[in-house]
Amino acid sequence: MYNLHLSENLFDKIKTLGVDFPSLINKVQALSENPIEVAVETNIELFCTYYVNAGRHAILFDINDDEETVYLKYIMLKARLHKILSGKIIAP
Amino acid sequence: MTSTAILSSYKQMGSLANYFLFPQSNKAVSTYKKVIALTTDKKSLKESEKLLKFLDETIIKNLPTKKSDLDVDLIYGQLENTKDNQLKINKMFDTIDNLFDNQEEVTIDDDIMLLFLANMKKVQEKIAYIYDYLNLVLEVNEANNQSLKNGKTYAFEELYELLKA
């Protein structure tokens, strides 16, 4: 089991969003159990090393294996993250 | 190309807005049968092509990706320039919409103008992408700062209890 590190702001955001989007909390649990299993690489260092989809949202995070800790950093709309990461700028 | 050079060249992009010329717009706009003779010239079309190339090859290819690229002041500067250019582009399309006077299904009767507008739509989307990308860099940076400043470590069960409280 990994510990979870997060800021007060992110805690508040998860708490608020978790009411309407319980899959968000389920995904946080999955991250604590086996982060590598659900992690997807962003390939853009500035946006954290990994993300995971959680319903309509995506969570950006880093993993510190030595500390057995997942550093949850940011939650955003999944569609926005995927558009930015894919670089598919022009709408079809 | 260095980050400073990117910023400098990006500032120059604003001057390209001067090429959004509609030299004959006053006399050529017609609402008859919803056909608009809105014209431009080949020079403006060429400039719109150059602008697209500039955005792809100078800006988008050089967007910051690594932690070593993180210069918050520079990124704020790039964001402001992007916002200025976004306003210019949006204003251009607003001006055209006003010329149409809220009519639907309007046809523009000029091939060069159609190509120019298609290019400028792409420019608009690329600028929106750059703006969103740079914003996300700053948002994640702020999230990192918050994590360092007031972050706490929890076991999931402990976190779950607090989230449900």
Q: Report pLDDT digits (tens) over B81-92.
A: 999 999 999 998
Residue type at position B33: K
Residue type at position B71: D
Out of A25, A71, A84, the one facing B133 most closely (by C-beta) is: A84
**CB distance A45–B156 less than 8 Å?**
no
A29 to chain B: closest CA residue:
B156
B158–A contact, CB cutoff 8 A: no
The pTM score is 0.82
Instruction: Report the SS3 class of residue A76.
Output: strand
Q: Is pLDDT of A76 > 70?
A: yes
- Contact (CB, 8 A) for A72 and A9: no
User: Shortest CA distance to B116 belongs to which of B41, B58, B60?
Assistant: B41
Using CB atoms within 10 A of its CB, is residue B149 exposed (0-12), middle (13-18) or buried (19+)?
exposed
Residue type at position A15: K
* Distance of alpha carbon B35 from alpha carbon B71, whole angstroms: 49
Q: Report pLDDT digits (tens) over B136-146.
A: 999 999 999 99
DSSP run (H or E) holding A60: strand A57-64
A44 to chain B: closest CA residue:
B65
User: Shortest CA distance to B69 belongs to which of B137, B10, B144, B123?
Assistant: B137
Residues in chain B with CB shorter than 8 Å from the CB of A80 are 132, 136
